[in-house]
Amino acid sequence: MDYFKINGPKTLEGSVAVSGAKNAALPLIALTILAKNPVTITNLPHVVDIKTLLKLLTNLGAAFELDGNRVTIDTRPVNHTMATYDIVKTMRASILVLGPLLARFGHCEVSLPGGCAIGQRPIDLHLKALEHMGAEITIHAGYVRAEAPDGLKGAHILFDKITVTGTANIVMAAALAKGKSTITNAAREPEVVQLCEILRDAGVAIEGIGSSELVIEGTGGKLVDIASFAVIPDRIEAGTYLCAAAISRSPLTLTNVRPDHLEAVLGKLEEMGVGIETTEDTITVLPVQTLKPVDITTMEYPAFPTDMQAQFLALCTQAEGTSTVEERLFENRFMHVSELQRLGADITLKGNTATVKGPSALFGADVMATDLRASSALVLAALVAEGETNIHRIYHLDRGYEALEEKFSLIGADIARLKE
């Protein structure tokens, strides 16, 4: 098993090219199930979750050619509709094949999903919506069995709670349904917006893109012609490097980035006193010697993202004063607190709120990654910790960050990937 050895403290400098967004690429790969043509996707990140979903598609009968950050996927030969446990258990996003498989074939079986252990993320909202569209759903032996022999029918879907993967799943299902579907309380994340834009460009009538209500006129079962496209930049990877620059008081420029997708994150960095300069596709961090404390509450986009909570928690350990971080989306997303405490962080956890007193002198130690974003928080803390930090179980990191150690090495970090 691999681990990272990081020696600190280190000052960073230079530029980082942000990779394509994993959370955008996953539903877009699933979307190819609805295509009547081979689809080419560029700016695809090299991360484990992408490889997992491509493997799942091949198990269904699809073919793909991967060349660097470019993939061409042909789902025309798909002849299986069962997404098996051995793949789905490693990645919750595998549930994204449920909507398109059911819409295209009228039946499918998808294993109940796995993924990061950050709390309950039930798929009941997905299933309830599909039932509204005429599907018959049963759960047996750990599998969701869905049938719609006469095809899915347009319906009014009201999500009781905002769900990103649920919105993506139902958008794809509605694209091939008969008639009009209205999705109320839809997720507004950039990843959902890109999915809708690509379907719209493929000829599916979609109104309300970027809003909380989507109206989709289905094709009645006809597959769509999807043109080549590039995955949007990863706003969470970008936010992680922004926090790396801020915590190490370093000048750093991000390229291939969308500042308009990061307004909540940039706002909190500026609130902490960090200097930020942006262009249409770059963000530059200007080093600041004193970080101010900040209060953060995670909520759905466009508010502060839960996927940046851990990184800001690490950053707050170096602020002058007391910060609070309230997690409203997942009930088990503070597992990194005990690991940051091992490095010397002064963090008190009560319910869903962490109180951070800073600045804390951090010292290298052996720590363990518990989920994808917690892993990156430990990397950030290790950058400013005195001495050697060994971060174990970095397979979590590999699920969502492309070439992390290479990128950090290029900007001055002392980081190495080693075998246990």
Which one of 116, 196, 243, 316 is the catalytic residue? 116
Q: How many CA atoms lie within 13 A of 367 on its CB side?
A: 34
Of 358, 408, 353, residue with least CA distance to 383: 408
User: How far is the C-alpha of 119 from the C-alpha of 139, rounded, in Å?
Assistant: 21
Angle, helix 48-60 to helix 22-31, in steps of 10 degrees: 10
Please, which residues have CB within 8 angstroms of residue 152's CB and are 6 or more apart in sequence? Answer: 102, 103, 130, 133, 134, 135, 173, 174, 176, 177, 178, 218
Instruction: Please say if 108 is a catalytic residue.
Output: no
DSSP state of 173: H
Q: What's the rounded Cα separation, in Å, for the pair 31 and 192?
A: 12
CB 107 within 8 A of CB 136: no
Tokens of 402: 């492309």
Give dist(CA 305, CA 235) in Å, integer: 10
**Residues that are catalytic:** 116
